[in-house]
Structure 1
Amino acid sequence: MKKTYSALFIAGVLLFAGCGSVPVTGRKQLSLVSNSEVLSLSLQQYGDFIKSAPISTDKANTALVQKVGRNIAIAVETYLKNNGYADQLSEYAWEFNLVKSSDVNAFCMPGGKIVVYEGILPYTQNETGLAVVLGHEVAHAVAKHANERMSQQVATQYGTAAVGAALSGSSAAVQQAAAAAIGLGSQYGILLPYSRKQELEADKLGLIFMAMAGYDPGQAASFWQRMAANGSSTPEFMSTHPSDNTRIQQIQKDLPEALKYYKGVSSGKTNNAKTSNQWKF
């Protein structure tokens, strides 16, 4: 009985000490892995990827990806600064790359390293559609979904009561967790298979972030509908990603909140810059 109480006490202490919260949504999340370790591992993997990736030679679309990415990153950093998260700004060194690949995909590594595949551009169609994708990927970074997933993997591998010992004085446990949490996507890249909860949270935050940058979040559902036409038939319960219908329905529910942050013109091609004090909500 004493051992049981001891294990529960240790578990409670670890969970309390390793609990963070997501900006904007406020959701509590498990955070056992340090940001520095996650960033170190991800930068190494991202560097290896960029060295071998076929970077796009399409100058116009590359410039568009970088433009939209910068607009969203600036808006998000302004929000973080004005809402008590200024200490997190040093964690981000935003980089937006377009890769020559027919894959309909995009991914984000911790620290703000984001890659878009050319194959998704026919579905984004315009600047606002691209903002949907980049807002979603930026959201994964800001919500620290990679940290959360690695923390969950550590807890699963070692058991809650053993997490402290596993993480003390060595990053071996983190490296093993990263290997399990990060899967190989296609021949070109590394993808983090986030949970359905994290994906839907990234959708919601993505709507808000694109709205902060002056892009109309009302166009997000149309993008996902175009993606749905290209979707696989994998049942939702077998996939880490939500089904297309679930995603679109949730986006429609989240839209009214996102529109509170939207001050721009719904042109689909332009965005309006915001002053530094406009994102104090």
Structure 2
Amino acid sequence: MKKIITLGVLFLFIVSCSTVPITGRKRVNLVSDAQILPASFAQYEGFLKENKISSNVKMTNEIQDVGMNISKAVDKFMRANGMVSEADSYRWEFNLIDDETVNAWCMPGGKVVFYTGILPICDNTDGIAAVMGHEVAHAFAKHGQERMTSAYGQQLGGIAVAIGTNNKDPKTRALWNTVYGVGSTVGMLAYSRTHETEADKLGMVFMIMAGYKPEEAVNVWIRMGQRAGGQAPPEFLSTHPSNESRVKNLRAYLPTAIEQAKKYGVQ
């Protein structure tokens, strides 16, 4: 029986292997959009009801404008590469939360939140685009699904189980809360440094496609480092690479990002 289970799990991992567009990284994903998106959308709505949405119309409009431009770039890329059904599954939404936490996130399916606390780090429209591109890239690359696949493997012996708003299994609900957090930290995945570095690269490509200055992505992380100083990193950096590594990697990747973006045109 153990041998059969082991072979079955191995088969699941083999057939679930895929490649992240642009970076070419191999990944394993046992969680489908049909499984994760209903729960993602429900969690997002619940979060908005429990937190204060900013009354700053100017900044809210800017967040939404940048978000739509970045999402259009992602949509353009997906459709150009035959990812039509995936592009159609996104329900883009961008909200600004009145909270001094230095944070931003994007849940599967394109549900984005910026906190007012991260705006000084963004500093300008291109800075907002850099953070937006990074967060949207997490959803595009399905890092959340990949993280849940890893959690399934650890908690359930690698055997995937269905998740969704109609699933009443307490283990599944606990798993969702573990991966996505609860309350004020909902959506903040424990991404690996590999995921973070990949999101930096993808985000830079998308912000270029959307017509923003990619050099500002470097400046964002310089400002983030200045804010952190020698203190413990803010929540937004809790699982991220060091600022020094991030700045170095982004500078090195800039020429490649420009070449990638040129393939699809700049808005």
TM bucket, shorter chain: 0.7 to 0.9
Distance 1:159 1:278 in 2: 42
Alpha-carbon deviation of 1:125?
A: 1.2
Are 2:258 and 1:256 equivalent residues in the alignment?
no
Matches within 5 A, 1:88-237: 88-160=86-158, 163=159, 166-167=161-162, 171=167, 172=169, 174-184=172-182, 186=184, 189-231=186-228, 232-233=231-232
**Matched-pair contact (CA < 8 Å) for 1:102–1:117:** yes
User: Do residues 27 (structure 1) and 25 (structure 2) align?
Assistant: yes
CA distance in 1, matches of 2:49, 2:140: 25
Identity %: 40
Asked whether the equivalents of residues 104 and 119 of structure 1 are also in contact (C-alpha less than 8 Å), the reply is: yes
Work out the CA distance in 1 between the residues paired with 2:173 and 2:87.
25
Measure the CA separation in 2 of the matches of 1:60 and 1:239.
Answer: 29
What residue number does 2:45 align with?
Answer: 47
Q: Partners in 1 of 2:216 and 2:116 — Cα distance? A: 20
Instruction: Report the alpha carbon displacement of residue 26 of structure 1 after superposing the two structures with TM.
Output: 2.5
Q: Give the TM-score normalised by the residue count of structure 2.
A: 0.88
Aligned equivalents of 2:120, 2:17: Cα separation in 1: 40
Shift of 1:239: 5.2
Gaps of 5+ in 2: none
Contact 1:154 1:174 in 2 (8 A): no
Distance in 2, Cα, partners of 1:199 & 1:184: 21
Find the structure with the greater CA-based Rg.
1
Q: Which runs of 4+ in 1 moved over 6 A?
A: none
Matched, 1:83 2:84: no
Aligned residues: 258
The one-character-per-residue Cα deviations of 1:152-196 (angstroms, maximum 9, x if unpaired) are 100111213xx05x459x95464343222122474x754222111
Determine if contact 2:180/2:186 at 8 Å carries over to the other structure: no
Which letter maps to 2:72? I
Q: Does 1:240 align with 2:239?
A: yes
**Letter paired with 2:64:** Q
What are the superposed Cα offsets for residues 228-262 of structure 1, whole Å, 9 maximum, x if unpaired? 1122436xxx9522111121121122111112245
Secondary structure of the residue aligned to 2:96 is strand
Partner of 1:271: none
Q: CA–CA distance in 2 between the matches of 1:189 and 1:13?
A: 32
Aligned 8 A contact 2:90 2:109 in 1 = yes
Deviation per residue, 1:23-53 (Å, 9 max, x gap)? 2222221211221121111111111111122
The 3 A distance-change label for structure 1 pair 185 and 206 is: farther
For the Cα contact (< 8 Å) 1:107–1:116, is it kept in 2?
A: yes
Amino acid at match of 1:72: I
Long gaps (5+) in structure 1: 264-276
Shift, 1:202, TM fit: 0.6
For 2:238 and 2:51, how far apart are their aligned partners in 1? 27
Letter in 1 for 2:52: P
Q: Counterparts of 2:118 and 2:33 in 1: how far apart (Å)?
A: 30
Give the secondary structure class of the aligned counterpart of 2:8: helix
Partner Cα separation in structure 2 for residue 125 and residue 167 of structure 1: 42
191-200 vs 20-29, which deviates more? 20-29
Query: In structure 2, how many angstroms separate the alpha carbons of the residues matched to 1:178 and 1:189?
Result: 10
Q: State the distance in 2 between where 1:279 and 1:174 align.
A: 42
Q: Match of 1:69? A: 67
